[in-house]
Amino acid sequence: MRTTTTYGSHDEELRHIGDLVIVRRAIAARGASEAELAECDAVIDAARRRLAAEAKVGAARFATAA
């Protein structure tokens, strides 16, 4: 997990998630198995959880600074 919570890393993580979704759609269109799609879903879910955790840390830092 990244330790930085800058807007840049959030933007990068959002782009990464978007790229993962595009890849999943592409392999689904090419006839990927359910197991392959489930693996993609797991990677996407992990990236989303990582982003959510980073956002919580950033929000907490912002709240204490305000």
For 21-40, write each residue's pLDDT tens digit: 999 999 999 999 999 999 99
> Which pLDDT score, from 0 to 100, does residue 8 have?
66
- Sign of the alpha-carbon torsion through 42, 45, 47, 64: negative
Say what the pLDDT of residue 65 is.
61
At 1 the pLDDT is 40
Residues 38/24, Cβ–Cβ less than 8 Å: no
What is the rounded average pLDDT of the residues 29-54?
A: 96
pLDDT for position 54: 86
Any residues with CB less than 8 A from the CB of 23 and at least 6 apart, and which?
40
Q: What is the CA radius of gyration of the chain?
A: 15
pTM of the model as a whole: 0.77
